[in-house]
């Protein structure tokens, strides 16, 4: 064993946040041979759980929970649940918690993101968010009673909740301030065809619709329209859960994310950040990325653990990936299209299955697929390889995407 490895294994590792990123960090540390004490702190009282099923099986009552299948005792991980961390003093290597200070030698920040709230709606009865297991538990009776629901925001979470609510035979009106769904995530030519999915499901989508006020039983729009609402579900985005770092000296960006380096190290020695609460520099895309998706929370912990044990110094530069199940469709995305110059369709967006590709200087940098998982699997590999593709062949959905590489 190297001297660095020996010293590392004698240090106390503390992970703050018991979601996917935090749990996977604790697991990865043990898998990579870390023998020192590991403490995992979660603010919620529940056994650590996976979040994607909350807007699907848990919400619809087909599953009671989505707890991770991890034996923390067997891993010798000290799991401390229901404990709020209120601050950190990196100079003293201590966390401030409701139960008193917690010392650490290595600290991993994995606190995730918290949903944005609707201004003026805090404390109004019947207004809901959907981020936690308790949120899903509060919403299940609403769906069971087949209430009239107003969803604020036609983003990913709004679409998934609307899908579940329509499956439960609720009347749903979705209000979106932009001119289309997913306005912050996808360009108009890609997102606009998705607007038809709402009507096909029986939900009403109102675009250019800003909320002016919410009160029990009613949502008022800026143009004076009033919508009946037995319940309101807000899905207008999320921000990194890092407010508790204020005054710590740990650097964060303008959006609140911890500005990690390419090995997910924060600005203080011995401090790392992973998952939704962190941003990282991508050499692949030439910019700093903040990725609020499940796969990032799964992959990043392996880089963190490897750096902590001193076994690898590989930079963290993944091809971002996520999926969404909505309106009977399986939507997948891989890459980052912000600086792409060319958009290429594979198939008709009015059909049940199609893909869209983004290219930069002839190389595939991102793709979105609807009902074409093979395109996603092959395209993700092409993006990772930086492959240039034959655009004429790639535009033919009958040609396997892997055969379009030049």
Question: Residues 13-24: what's their mean pLDDT?
Answer: 98
Q: How many CB atoms lie within 10 A of CB 188?
A: 12
DSSP at 402 = G
Strands 231-234 and 127-128: parallel
What stretches of 170-285 adopt beta strand conformation (E)? Answer: 171-175, 204-206, 211-215, 217-221, 226-229, 231-234, 238-240, 258-259, 271-273, 278-282
Residue 147, pLDDT > 50, answer yes
Beta partners for residue 38, in sequence order: 13, 77
86 C-beta neighbours (distance < 10 Å), count: 9
Residue 5's pLDDT band, with cuts at 50, 70 and 90, is: very low
How many Å apart are CA 403 and CA 406, to the nearest integer?
8
* List of domains in the chain: 3-114+238-309 (3.50.50.60), 117-234 (3.50.50.60), 328-404 (3.30.390.30)
32-70 confidence digits (pLDDT tens): 999 999 999 999 999 999 988 877 788 887 766 789 999
pLDDT on residue 7: 53
Give pLDDT tens digits for 97-138.
999 999 999 999 999 999 999 998 988 999 999 999 999 999
> Comparing C-alpha atoms, which of 123, 151, 156, 154 is closest to residue 56?
156
Q: What is the pLDDT of residue 58?
A: 80
Res 320: pLDDT: 97
* Percent above pLDDT 70 for the chain: 97
pLDDT at position 3 over 50: no
Per-residue pLDDT at 59: 85
Q: Which helix (H) or strand (E) holds 294?
A: helix 294-309
> What pLDDT score was predicted for residue 10?
75
User: Tokens for 61?
Assistant: 């009552």
The residues, ordered by sequence, that sit 6+ positions from 392 with a Cβ below 8 Å of its Cβ are: none
Query: Packing angle between helix 294-309 and helix 20-31, nearest 10 degrees?
Result: 30
- Check residue 9 and give its pLDDT: 62
DSSP per position, 359-370:
EETTEEEEEEEE
Helix (H) or strand (E) holding 115: strand 113-115
HSE-up (13 A, CA, CB side) for residue 138: 14
With a CB cutoff of 8 Å and minimum separation 6, the contacts of 94 are 88, 101, 102, 103, 104
**pLDDT average, residue stretch 206-213:** 97
Q: What is the pLDDT of residue 155?
A: 96
Q: Rounded mean pLDDT of 289-315?
A: 93
Quick one: CA torsion of 95, 96, 97, 100, rounded to 10 degrees? Answer: 100
Model pLDDT for residues 163-200, shown as the tens digit of each residue: 999 999 999 999 999 999 999 999 999 999 999 999 99
Single out the residue of 55, 71, 72 nearest to residue 63, CA to CA.
55
Please report where in the chains the tokens 């209000």 appear, as a residue: 175
At 314, is the pLDDT very low, low, confident or very high (cuts 50, 70, 90)?
confident
Q: How many residues comprise the chain?
A: 406
State the DSSP H helix or E strand holding residue 391, giving kind and residue range, or none if neither.
helix 391-394
3-state secondary structure of 352: coil
Q: Which of 226, 214, 266, 229 is nearest to 109 (CA)?
A: 266
pLDDT digits (tens, 9 = 90+) for 375-405: 999 999 999 999 999 999 999 999 999 999 9
> What is the pLDDT, as a whole number, of residue 261?
98
CB atoms within 10 A of CB 120: 13
Rounded to an integer, the average pLDDT of 350-376 is 97
Distance CA 318, CA 327 (A): 29
Nearest partner of 307 among 337, 361, 332, 270, judged by Cα: 270
Virtual CA dihedral for 50, 55, 60, 61, nearest 10 degrees? Answer: 20
In this predicted structure, what is the pLDDT of residue 1?
Answer: 41
Average pLDDT over the chain, rounded to whole? 94
């Amino acid at each position: 064993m190297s001297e660095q490895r020996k010293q590392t294994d004698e240090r106390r590792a503390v992970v703050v946040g018991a979601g996917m990123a935090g749990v996977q960090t604790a697991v990865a540390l043990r898998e990579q041979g870390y023998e020192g004490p590991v403490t995992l702190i979660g603010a919620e009282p529940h056994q650590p759980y996976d979040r994607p099923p909350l807007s699907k099986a848990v919400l619809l009552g087909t599953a009671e929970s989505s707890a991770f299948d991890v034996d923390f005792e067997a891993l010798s991980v000290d799991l401390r649940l229901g404990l709020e961390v209120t601050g950190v003093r990196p100079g003293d290597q201590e966390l401030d918690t409701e139960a008193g200070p917690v010392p650490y030698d290595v600290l991993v920040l994995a606190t995730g993101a918290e949903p944005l709230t609707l201004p003026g709606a805090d404390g109004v009865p019947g207004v809901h968010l959907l981020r936690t297991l308790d949120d899903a538990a509060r919403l299940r009776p609403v769906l069971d009673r087949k209430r009239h629901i107003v969803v604020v925001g036609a983003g990913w979470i709004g679409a998934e909740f609307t899908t579940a609510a329509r499956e439960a035979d609720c009347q749903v009106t979705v209000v979106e301030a932009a001119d289309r769904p997913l306005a912050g995530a996808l360009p108009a030519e890609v997102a606009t065809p998705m607007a038809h999915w709402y009507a096909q499901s029986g939900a009403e989508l109102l675009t250019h619709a800003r909320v002016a006020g919410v009160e029990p039983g009613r949502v008022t729009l800026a143009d004076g329209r009033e919508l009946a609402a037995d319940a309101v579900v807000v899905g207008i985005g999320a921000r990194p859960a890092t407010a508790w770092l204020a005054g710590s000296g740990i650097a964060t960006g303008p959006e609140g994310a911890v500005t990690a380096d390419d090995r997910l190290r924060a600005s203080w020695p011995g401090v790392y950040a992973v998952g939704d609460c962190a941003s990282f520099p991508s050499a692949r895309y030439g910019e700093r990325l903040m990725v609020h998706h499940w796969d990032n929370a799964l992959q990043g912990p392996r880089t963190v653990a490897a750096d902590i044990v001193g076994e690898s110094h590989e930079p963290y530069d993944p091809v971002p990936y996520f999926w969404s199940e909505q309106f009977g469709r399986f939507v997948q995305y891989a890459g980052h299209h912000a600086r792409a110059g060319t958009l290429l369709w594979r198939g008709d967006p009015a059909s049940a299955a199609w893909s869209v590709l983004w290219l930069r200087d002839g190389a595939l940098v991102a793709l979105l697929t609807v009902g074409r998982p093979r395109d996603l699997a092959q395209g993700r590999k092409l993006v990772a390889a930086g492959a240039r593709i034959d655009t004429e062949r790639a535009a033919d959905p009958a040609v396997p995407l892997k055969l379009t590489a030049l």
